Structure 1
Amino acid sequence: MTASNTTDSTAFDITDWLGEWESFEHYIDSDDAAIQQIWEAAEQAVLANPKMAPMAARGIRTFWSMACSTTSPENIIHIGYWRVNEPAAESGSTDDAALAIEWFAEDDTSLDTYEYTIDHVIEHGLEGSPTFVFHTTDPAAEDSPFRWLLAINPLPSRKAFAEGGLLSHLHFQYANDLHTLVATDEATGTETLRNPRWYATMCANEGTVEDRCAIIRALHHLQ
């Protein structure tokens, strides 16, 4: 789904993650006239391309709604937002934490806040790109669907937007158990995603409607 890729996909820079994020589902479900117009143009462009036309067989927004759903078999609540912060100093919840994420429902209800460490990196994960495997050891997360998190680096860097670039976005998957998300070849140790077509997506929650339209344009290669 990536609209632009100018970030080193293997380096973790917390400044690219910090701040407010909103679900791409907001773009898909938006009733804003400008965004709806862009979706209509995107659907026509996809239908005009024989190789891509099947994507729009049931409507292009229906396609992306299925691919980018933030719900899962373990969690029926749509994830509306993230708030990403630096881990608290000496919090004790997770040693050597890389970041802290507060998960919000669509109605702004805070669902959970956890500090995550980077357990390892899957070489070919989401979009075939290096994918961070985040894990929280917070005892409160023992039964949480957010205990394990897979995510690629935000694309482009959040700094790019201030320089006239696109809004940053990232893809992710989550589950209580890593085995739910990842299969490991016993012979080679190679890890693969069990559901490579699940692209739950967060976009930087800043900018204007036009900036959101630009993401949809770039995604479908519109002028």
Structure 2
Amino acid sequence: MMSDRSANFKLTDWLGDWESFEHYIDAEDETIRSTWDKAEQAVLANPQMAPMAANGIRKFWAMACSTTSPENIIHIGYWTVGEPENADADVCITWYAEDNTNLDAYDYRIDHVIAHGLEGSPTYVFVTDDSHAEDSPFRWLLTIAPLPSRAAFSEGGLLSHLHFQYANDLHTLIDTDDSGAETLRNPRWYATMCADEGTIEDRCRIIRALHHLD
């Protein structure tokens, strides 16, 4: 039976393959590079946003969207999300390095939801109960729901994406005050996964939307 904490969780929005947004940032494709150039020009033209691009807009996003952590120095290239084998879990996530090496694969359950987490949005707090994850940097996972839903792309919408953070210990990621309110310890860390489908142009649409170019 689905618990209250996961009542709004829709596994169908998560299922499938995902790729790191770092691929967009590091891409050598001329169309993507041109899109980044236009994005940088737009940011520099906005006095309030210009500091973001002071050292180059791609460097800014590379810092914000890094998939490494103090506990994990390996860049995460991909996820595969599937149905969990454990009846008490909500989702199964396989973590892959850039060379497709399987880093870890766990069933995760929703421990609770932070009302205002990443992007100030409701943020799922996932944890795996797998005994093999005791020392894994992927034991705890914070993530917003995919936006837009994966089904939106087939209807002409943008590729789905989500932001996440991870750690072995939950207190590495969140701070709890005396009232029990939770806040992110690092609100500027926006590791990001995008649905691994579509074309170069679909990826460019994500970059344009991110900088309000469309």
Decide: shared fold, TM above 0.5: yes
Aligned partner of 2:102 among 98, 107, 110? 110
Instruction: Give the TM-score normalised by the residue count of structure 1.
Output: 0.92
Please list, as runs of the form range in 1=range in 2, the aligned pairs for 1:136-215 lying within 5 A after superposition: 136-186=128-178, 188-215=179-206
SS of aligned partner of 1:75: coil
Aligned partner of 2:23 among 20, 23, 26? 26
Aligned partner of 1:217 among 205, 208, 211? 208
1:55 aligns with 2:46: no
Mapped to 2, the partners of 1:109 and 1:32 lie a distance apart of: 24
Deviations 1:108-140 (A, max 9, x none): 000000000000000110001000000001000
Instruction: Give the TM-score normalised by the residue count of structure 2.
Output: 0.96
Runs of at least 4 residues of structure 1 off by over 4 A? none
Mapped to 1, the partners of 2:172 and 2:124 lie a distance apart of: 16
Give the drift of 1:34. Answer: 0.3
Deviations 1:184-211 (A, max 9, x none): 012x100000000000000000000000
Give the drift of 1:150. Answer: 0.1
Q: Which residue of 2 aligns with 1:40?
A: 37
Mapped to 2, the partners of 1:82 and 1:200 lie a distance apart of: 12
SS of aligned partner of 1:195: coil
Amino acid at match of 2:97: A
Q: Which residue of 2 aligns with 1:4?
A: none
Amino acid at match of 1:160: A
The answer for unaligned runs of 5 or more in structure 2 is: 1-6
Q: Which residue of 2 aligns with 1:6?
A: none
Aligned partner of 1:64 among 61, 66, 72? 61
Q: Which residue of 1 aligns with 2:91?
A: 99
Give the drift of 1:11. Answer: 1.8
Mapped to 2, the partners of 1:171 and 1:214 lie a distance apart of: 18
